[in-house]
A and B are shown apart, each in its own frame.
Chain A
Amino acid sequence: MTATMTPAPPTTSQENHRVPWRHRQGAWWASPALLYVPALALMVPVFVIPTLVMLSLSFTSEPGGLHWYVQAFQSDLVRAVLIRSFAIAFTVTAISLLIGLPYAAIARRAPRPIANVLYGAIAASLFFSVIVRAYAWLSILGHGGPVQLALQWLGIDTDGLRLVNSPFGVVVGMVQYGVPFMVLAIADVMRRTDDNLERAAATLGSGPVHRWIHVKLPMLKPGIVAGVTIVFVTTLGYYIIPAILGSPREMMIGELIGSQVGTTLNWGYGSALASILLVLTGLALWLLNLLGRK
């Protein structure tokens, strides 16, 4: 054993062949870049290629060129749908933030058992399929549902009220979808903040409101920006919830694309709309990222 450990010159040709590899700056199979391979193997066929196919379809489908884009930009419907989508996404994000921020703050301060229930509720809501949750809202808010009956019992006229199959229904469903992500993003940052910062601010004369605005909120900004980004971007292009809880007369961009591709089989128009959504989403991401850095 000791004999083979001495760095004697290799004798056989096989060993001779192996030596140069060892003396290189690290073998090719040890390169950290290889760690990307599994992710790439998954993402290229299931994400990158379909996206490229979609993008190219928007230019190549008959009659080709920029035809579908010109049609989209000239359409009043598309403009209305896009504005509605942005308005709903904005509303949903704002409401999710208004619910999520205090929720995370309360869960952080709550004693152990209550905190477990609060965080548990958030985690549990992620276990249920979005479709199930959307249909649940349909029966809760829909015709003859408990909410309508309760309103009638209170003497409120519910005939003109459209709680589902309306933008209101979409906002309710999407807020329920968005709040858990908002809470998780904010709670993560909150857990890492130093409680002594607020105490320090208090000793220097800063009251509860001033502390929230000048100490707590700036510290939570990364979490808030992350939560807002996730909720806004997903809401903007969401398909299932608007399809179930919305109305065809007031659709969002996701449904419009769905109907072009699924119902009228107009792939060119559908993929042009999808590409516009992709660019607008990218723009929103860029703006939010800019906001987060500042």
Chain B
Amino acid sequence: MTATATHAARLELSDLKKLYGDIAAVEQIDLTVEPGEFVTLLGPSGSGKSTTLGMVAGFETPTSGTIRLGERDITRLVTHKRNLGMVFQGYALFPHMTVFENVAFPMKLRKASKHQTRTAVGEALEAVSLGHLADRKPSQLSGGQQQRVALARAFVHRPPILLMDEPLSALDKALRTQMRDEIRRLHRELGTTVLFVTHDQEEALSLSDRIVVMCDGRISQVGTPTEMYESPQNEFVSGFLGAANFLSGTPEHVAAGTVGGVRLGNGQRVCGRATVDVPSGCTARIVLRPEDGQLGGAPSPDWNEFRVTLTELVYLGERIKATGKLESGEELSFWVSHHQAGQVAIGRQLVLSWPHRRTVLIESPA
């Protein structure tokens, strides 16, 4: 558009490491974000996702490793020379400036002419539907409006990359969903590279081209939302993205991507699709998503059957969460829809089934 025309850039993190004293906040971070890609760093607090973003922004200096943005090595470059756009959780709008002045801030720094600035700011504010509030002070806006101003300010100068540090966490739930859709639309229209940080799996799943799940300062798994949700490669990812039941068993050797069998403690053989190589000597974990479970026996041979005694029913409005106990003492949770509510009661013996294809096998860490 009119502003300094910069193209979306590739971001490359190689073997990035950050030590605080002897403790590694982040290590072995290798990640390439393609130009125009929307990548989310997802993880609980303390997983290192914010430290990683801080190193890309230049707030933290890596202990070792390199960061490349486009053609430049920015590992040790000061923040204000990196040409970034960033959105913060707490909006971080300049309170003494109007909405217009806030959004014009990066334009003025780039010595844009008055006309250029006015056009670019106008367009940016239109893009977040706030053109009519240009003369207000941030304190006169609602939280959602303030965050939209912050968004406009972050992309008005067309930075080659947009960094977002939990931008939706300070908003209430309804607003969060609305802003999420807005960010997705903006990313489509602008085509910039986006590095987004969140601890909210729903945000990550709905916004990202790829998700990077982080745990204890390392990358746990990288993949598209579908890959991450349907083919988690370890227990942490399976449990962090969505709800999951875990059963343990002894596997036959199952190669990654193939369906194979695992023997449970009571001798029952359960089949599932392995997302990583599961060697025969190890302990396998069987991952079962509650929403894939069905009440009743297996409708065809490629389903696993489980016999449980119902121990708990929790009414959640849209559905009922039911928990049953296997003979082994392990528990299985599953969803019950309202028209099936008559079939469940605490203490009742039930047969549940899960399709093989949606039964995931991984190697247990222990």
Nearest CB in chain A: distance from B168 CB, A: 16
Neighbouring A residues of B90 by C-beta, 8 Å = 194, 196
Contact B109–A200 (Cβ < 8 Å): no
Asked, given contacts A196-B90, A210-B109, whether A203 binds B95 with beta carbons under 8 Å apart, the answer is no
Q: From B105, which residue of chain A is reached at the shortest CB distance?
A: A204
Q: Which A190-214 residues sit within 8 Å CB-CB of chain B?
A: 194, 196-197, 199-208, 210-211, 214
| Residue of A with least CB distance to B110 | A205
A-B contact count (CB 8 A): 70
B163–chain A nearest beta-carbon distance, Å: 7
Q: Does A215 contact B (CB under 8 A)?
A: yes
* Nearest CB in chain B: distance from A239 CB, A: 38
Chain B residue total in the interface (Cβ 8 A): 28
Distance of A201 Cα from B93 Cα, bound (Å)? 9
Of residues 149 through 188 on chain B, the ones whose CB sits less than 8 Å from some CB of chain A are 150, 153-154, 157, 163
- Docked-complex contact A197 and B94, CB < 8 angstroms: yes
B107 to A: closest C-beta gap in Å: 9
Q: Which of A197, A210, A211, A218 contacts B92 (CB 8 A)?
A: A197
Give, as a whole number of angstroms, the nearest-CB distance from A59 to chain B. Answer: 46
Contacts of B82 in A (CB 8 A): 203
B83 at the A interface (CB under 8 A): yes
Chain A proximity of B58: nearest CB distance (Å): 7
Question: Nearest chain A CB to B307's CB is how many angstroms away?
Answer: 55
Q: Is the beta-carbon distance between A194 and B80 smaller than 8 angstroms?
A: no
Most buried by A among B82, B83, B85, B92: B92
B106:A200 contact, CB within 8 angstroms? no
Question: Which residues of B lie under 8 Å from residue A208 when comparing CB positions?
Answer: 80
Tell me if A219 counts as interface (CB < 8 A to partner B). Answer: yes
CB distance from A196 to the nearest CB of B (A): 4
Cβ-based interface call for B84 (8 A): yes
Question: Which B130-159 residues have C-beta < 8 A from chain A?
Answer: 150, 153-154, 157
Measured CB to CB, the residues of A under 8 A from B are 194, 196-197, 199-208, 210-211, 214-215, 218-219, 221
For this complex, 29 residue pairs linking A to B, each with C-beta atoms less than 8 Å apart, are A194-B90, A194-B92, A196-B88, A196-B92, A197-B95, A199-B92, A200-B86, A200-B92, A200-B94, A200-B150, A201-B80, A201-B94, A202-B78, A203-B82, A203-B85, A203-B154, A203-B163, A204-B84, A204-B85, A204-B157, A205-B81, A205-B83, A205-B110, A205-B157, A206-B105, A208-B80, A211-B80, A214-B105, A219-B95
Q: Which 3 A-B pairs have the closest CB atoms?
A: A202-B79, A200-B92, A203-B86
